[in-house]
Amino acid sequence: MTDREDFLAWVTSDLRHAEQALHNGDPEPRRAVWSRKEPVSVMGAWRNALGQLALHDLFTHLGESFSDCVSYEFELQSYDVVGDMAYTVGLEHTSTSVNGEARSYVLRATQVYRREDGQWKVVHRHADTVGG
C-alpha cells in the first residue's frame, strides 16, 4: 500500500469515525486522532483554538453541543501526502442536533496532518460554512 493509499484509508475510517462520534456528542475519538504535540490549531466555523488547552476546551464544548447525528459524509475534493505531512480539502455534509435543535449544514474543511510515531494525527483544521 502506498503512503497515499494508507493515508486515504485512515481518512475514510478512523478520521470519519471520530467526526461522526463528535457529532453524536462524544469528543474522545476526535481527541484520539489529534496530535498531542504543539503546534495545533483550529480556525473553526463556530470557534477557534490555538494550542492544546484551547483544543481540549473546544472539543469538550463541541461534544456538549452535538447529539443525535443522523448523517455525516466527507466529500473529499483534494488530498496529498508529502513525507510525514498531508492535507485534505473537502465538504462536510452533516445532519445532527446542535444544542438540541436539528440542523443540517455543509462546511468547507481543510485539514493538515502530521505522521507521528507511524500514525497520522490532525494538527490544523480550518472550516467555514458554505455560503448560499
**For the segment 44-83, what is each residue's pLDDT rounded down to a tens digit?**
988 999 999 999 999 999 999 999 999 999 999 999 999 9
Residue-level pLDDT at 61:
97
Q: In the beta sheet, which residues pair with residue 100?
A: none
Q: Are 95 and 107 in contact (CB under 8 A)?
A: no
Per cent of the chain over pLDDT 70 is 99
Cβ neighbours for 35, distance < 8 A, ≥ 6 positions apart:
114, 116, 121, 122, 123
Kindly report the pTM of this predicted structure: 0.95
Per cent of the chain over pLDDT 90 is 95
Q: How many CB atoms lie within 10 A of CB 94?
A: 22
CA distances from 105 to 59, 69, 126, 132 (A): 19, 12, 16, 11
99: left (phi over 0), alpha (psi -120 to 50) or beta: left
Start-to-end C-alpha separation, the chain: 40
Q: Above 70 in pLDDT, residue 132?
A: no
Greater confidence (1 vs 132) lies with 1
Chain centroid to Cα 116, Å, comes to 17
In which band, very low, low, confident or very high, does the pLDDT at 129 lie, cut at 50, 70 and 90?
Answer: very high
pLDDT digits (tens, 9 = 90+) for 10-51: 999 999 999 999 999 999 999 999 999 999 999 998 899 999
Residue-level pLDDT at 8:
98
